[in-house]
Amino acid sequence: MSLGSGLAKGLAVTFRAMTRRAVTQQYPETLPELPPRSRGVIGLFEENCTVCMLCARECPDWCIYIDSHKETVPPAAPGGRERSRNVLDRFAIDFALCMYCGICVEVCPFDALFWSPEFEYAETDIRDLTHERDKLREWMWTVPEPPPPDPSAEEAKETAAARRTADRRAAERSRPAEQAEQAEQAEGDREPGEGSAS
Amino acid sequence: MDVLDVSLRIGGVLLAFLLLPLLVGQAEHKVMAHMQGRLGPMHAGGFHGWAQLVADGVKFAQKEDVVPQGADRTLFRLAPAVALIPYLIVLIAIPVGPGGMVGEVIDAGIFFVLAVLGVGVLGSLMGGWASANKYSLLGGLRTAAQLMAYELPLILAAASVVMAAGTLSLPGILDAFAWWWVPWQLIGGFVFFTAGIAELHRPPFDAPLAPEEIIFGAFTEYSGLRFALFLLAEYAGIVVVAALTAVLFLGGWHGPLPDQLGWLWTTLKTAVLCFLVIWARVAWPRLRVDQIQRFAWTVLVPLALAQIALTGVVKVVFL
Residues, chain A: 198
Cis peptide before B258 (omega within 30 of 0): no
Nearest to B36 among A7, A17, A26 (CB): A17
Backbone angles phi, psi at A87, to 5 degrees: -120, 130
Cβ neighbours of residue B133 closer than 8 Å, sequence gap 6 or more: B68, B220, B221
Residue range B5-52, pLDDT digits in tens: 888 888 888 888 888 899 999 999 999 999 998 888 888 888 888 888
Please report how many Cα atoms fall inside a 13 Å half-sphere around the Cα of residue B116, on the Cβ side.
21
pLDDT for the residue A193:
45
The minimum CA-CA distance between A28 and chain B, rounded to whole Å, is 11
Classify strands A41-44 and A64-73 as parallel, antiparallel or unpaired. Answer: unpaired
Residues of chain B with pLDDT > 70, as a percent, come to 97
3-class secondary structure per residue, chain B:
CCHHHHHHHHHHHHHHHHHHHHHHHHHHHHHHHHHCCCCCCCCCCCCCCCCHHHHHHHHHHHCCCCCCCCCCHHHHHHHHHHHHHHHHHHHHHCCCECCCECCCCCCCHHHHHHHHHHHHHHHHHHHHHHCCCHHHHHHHHHHHHHHHHHHHHHHHHHHHHHHHHCCCCHHHHHHCCCCCHHHHCHHHHHHHHHHHHHHCCCCCCCCCCCHHHHCCHHHCCCCHHHHHHHHHHHHHHHHHHHHHHHHHHCCCCCCCCCHHHHHHHHHHHHHHHHHHHHHHHHHCCCCCHHHHHHHHHHHHHHHHHHHHHHHHHHHHHHC
Cβ pair A10:B42 closer than 8 A: no
Domains (range + CATH), chain A: 41-74+82-140 (3.30.70.3270)
pLDDT for the residue A186:
56
Interface membership of A20 toward B (CB under 8 Å): yes
Classify strands A64-73 and A130-131 as parallel, antiparallel or unpaired. Answer: unpaired
Task: Tell me whether residue A63 is annotated as binding.
Answer: no
CA distance A168 to A196: 13
Nearest to B222 by CA among B60, B2, B22: B60
pLDDT grade for B100, boundaries at 50, 70 and 90: low
CB B100: neighbour CB atoms within 10 A?
11
pTM for this predicted structure? 0.74
Q: Which residues from A are below 8 Å from B299, CB to CB?
A: none
Nearest to B283 among A11, A22, A23 (CB): A11
CA distance B11 to B136: 35
Shortest CA distance from B277: residue in chain A: A11
pLDDT for the residue A198:
40
Nearest to B256 by CA among B244, B245, B269: B269
Nearest to B117 by CA among B86, B150, B143: B86
Backbone angles phi, psi at B130, to 5 degrees: -75, -15
Shortest CA distance from B37: residue in chain A: A22
Which residues sit opposite A68 in a β-bridge?
A: A88
CB A73: neighbour CB atoms within 10 A?
9
The residue of B28, B30, B35 whose CB has the most chain A CBs within 10 angstroms, and thus the best one to mutate to test that interface, is B35
Mark out chain B residues that contact chain A at CB-CB < 8 A: 31, 33-39, 42, 279, 282-284
Nearest to B198 by CA among B284, B92, B69: B284
Nearest to A64 by CA among A30, A16, A103: A103
pLDDT grade for B168, boundaries at 50, 70 and 90: confident
pLDDT for the residue B176:
82
Mean pLDDT of B260-272: 84
Average pLDDT, chain B: 86
Interface membership of A16 toward B (CB under 8 Å): no
Nearest to A18 among B31, B42, B284 (CB): B31
Q: What is the ipTM of this complex?
A: 0.72
pLDDT for the residue A194:
47
* Domain positions in chain B: 3-318
Cβ neighbours of residue B181 closer than 8 Å, sequence gap 6 or more: B164, B249, B251
Do residues A101 and A30 make contact, with C-beta atoms less than 8 angstroms apart? Answer: no
Mean pLDDT of B186-199: 90
The residue of A9, A18, A23, A29 whose CB has the most chain B CBs within 10 angstroms, and thus the best one to mutate to test that interface, is A18
pLDDT for the residue B312:
86
CA distance B289 to A122: 48
Cβ neighbours of residue B282 closer than 8 Å, sequence gap 6 or more: A14, B31, B32, B35, B36
Mean pLDDT of B206-223: 83
The minimum CA-CA distance between B211 and chain A, rounded to whole Å, is 21
Q: Which residues from B are below 8 Å from A14, CB to CB?
A: 35-36, 279, 282-283
List, run by run, the mean pLDDT of 10-residue segments along chain A (198 residues). Answer: 77 88 86 86 91 92 92 86 89 93 92 90 91 91 85 85 92 71 55 45
pLDDT for the residue A3:
64
Nearest to B39 among A7, A15, A22 (CB): A22
Interface membership of A22 toward B (CB under 8 Å): yes
Nearest to B248 by CA among B121, B150, B110: B110
